[in-house]
């Protein structure tokens, strides 16, 4: 039986790879994609999601536009634009005809779909958690049908990538992150502690670009743009494909080792977005180790397989 998933995202190069993997994964049933502002403004992230799905042969997956700003503050996405470009994908040009987004708002879709679900649904959360938190606020009872949340976000024992304390997704909307992390749902959190090691280097990127597979060439081109930004900003040509790890662990759960510890999120001042580990146990497992080589091979194999 396939696992029902909804992806909430803000594409973004690494979101794009995650969407391609989800479209290719035989064991996953992608029910819908909800989109939030984050790596770029909402108009860009919605358009990117539609274009990526069309290119991946999944244009029938419905896409819902969600929140254009965080719950309680303005959107601060300068670092997102610095890494992902003004449109979120480095001005990549698609040759596939995309569908239009659904008329229903993403928050309404999440609340109604989860509340009415006959089978449990896994939420794969790749951007700021605004849509998810808003849905939980709107319909608290919908949480009963969430199998688990698989989240990319936070930094537990390593520095953040926006401030010394905070990773981008949690920094953009710390209030939403705190609502979700304290929701009582089962959570598998993939913080920078592991996603910074979900790394594609020059050889792996070039192998994708030179592949005979159209999807592999697409992913290779995106990662080349992404790695080029890292080279300009940080001085090395490589890129961590943060969000794709959340699909990777659904396909191969042993890619990541986890620690079962409660995680809180600070929401005020210079420490906003900081993860605070608490007592052992509870509903949250956060990643501590990753088999990087297996992750790279999994992504490469999935996007290179015959279409």
pLDDT by residue (tens digit) across 46-99? Answer: 999 999 999 999 999 999 999 999 999 998 855 455 554 555 565 556 666 667
Is 15:21 a contact under the CB 8 Å cutoff? no
pLDDT score at 234: 75
Q: Could you report the per-residue pLDDT of 234-244, keeping only the tens digit for each?
A: 788 999 999 99
Q: What is the pLDDT of residues 160-180, one digit of tens each?
A: 999 999 999 999 999 999 999
CB atoms within 10 A of CB 26: 7
- Reported as a single tens digit per residue, the pLDDT across 188-237 is 999 999 999 999 999 999 999 999 999 999 999 989 988 888 788 778 89
Q: List, for residues 230-266, the tens digit of each pLDDT value.
A: 788 778 899 999 999 999 999 999 999 999 999 999 9
Q: Map the chain to HEC letters.
A: CCEEEEEEECCCHHHHHHHHHHHHCCCEEEEEEEECCCCCCHHHHHHHHHHHHHHCCCCCCCEEECCCCCCCCCCCCHHHHHHHCCCCCCCCCCCCCCCCCCCCCHHHHHHHHHHHCCCCEEEEECCCCHHHHHHHHHCHHHHHHEEEEEEECCCCCCCCCCCCCCCHHHHHCHHHHHHHHCCCCCEEEECHHHHCCCEECHHHHHHHHCCCCHHHHHHHHHHHHHHHHHHHHHCCCCEECCCHHHHHHHHCHHHEEEEEEEEEECCCHHHCCCEEEEEEEEEEEEEEEECHHHHHHHHHHHHHCCC
Strand order in the sheet with 3-9: 63-65, 28-35, 3-9, 121-125, 146-152, 187-190, 275-290, 256-265
Say what the alpha-carbon torsion angle 73, 90, 191, 6 is, to the nearest 10 degrees: 80
User: Taking the model in full, what pTM does it have?
Assistant: 0.94
Is the pLDDT at 280 greater than 50, yes or no?
A: yes
- Cα dist from 241 to 108, 146, 165, 195, whole Å: 30, 25, 21, 7
Active-site residue numbers?
242
pLDDT at residue 103, rounded to an integer: 96
């Amino acid at each position: 039986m396939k696992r029902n998933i909804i992806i909430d995202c803000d594409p973004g190069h690494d979101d794009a790879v995650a969407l391609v993997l989800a479209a290719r994964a035989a064991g996953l049933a992608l029910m819908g994609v909800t989109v939030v502002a984050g790596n770029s403004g909402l108009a860009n992230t919605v358009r990117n999601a539609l274009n990526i799905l069309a290119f991946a042969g999944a244009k029938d997956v419905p896409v819902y536009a969600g929140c254009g700003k965080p719950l309680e503050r303005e959107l601060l996405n300068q670092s997102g634009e610095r890494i992902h470009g003004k449109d979120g994908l480095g001005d990549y040009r698609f040759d596939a005809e995309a569908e239009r987004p659904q008329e229903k708002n993403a928050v309404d879709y999440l609340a109604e779909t989860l509340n009415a679900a006959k089978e449990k649904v896994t939420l794969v959360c790749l951007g700021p958690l605004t849509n998810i938190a808003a849905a939980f606020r709107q319909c608290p009872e919908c949480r009963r049908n969430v199998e688990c949340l698989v989240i990319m976000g936070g930094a537990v024992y390593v520095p953040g990538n926006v401030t010394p304390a905070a990773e981008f997704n949690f920094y953009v909307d710390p209030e939403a992150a705190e609502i979700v992390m304290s929701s009582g749902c089962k959570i598998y959190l993939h913080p920078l502690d592991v996603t910074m090691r979900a790394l594609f280097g020059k050889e792996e990127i070039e192998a994708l670009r030179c592949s005979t597979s159209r999807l592999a060439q697409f992913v290779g081109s995106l990662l080349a743009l992404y790695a080029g930004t890292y080279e300009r900003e940080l001085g090395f040509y490589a890129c961590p494909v943060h969000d794709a790890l959340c699909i990777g662990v659904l396909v191969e759960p042993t890619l990541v080792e986890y620690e079962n510890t409660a995680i809180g999120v600070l929401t005020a001042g210079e420490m906003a977005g900081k993860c605070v580990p608490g007592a052992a146990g509870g509903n949250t497992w956060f990643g501590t180790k990753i088999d990087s080589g297996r992750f790279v091979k999994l992504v490469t194999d999935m996007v290179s397989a015959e279409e």
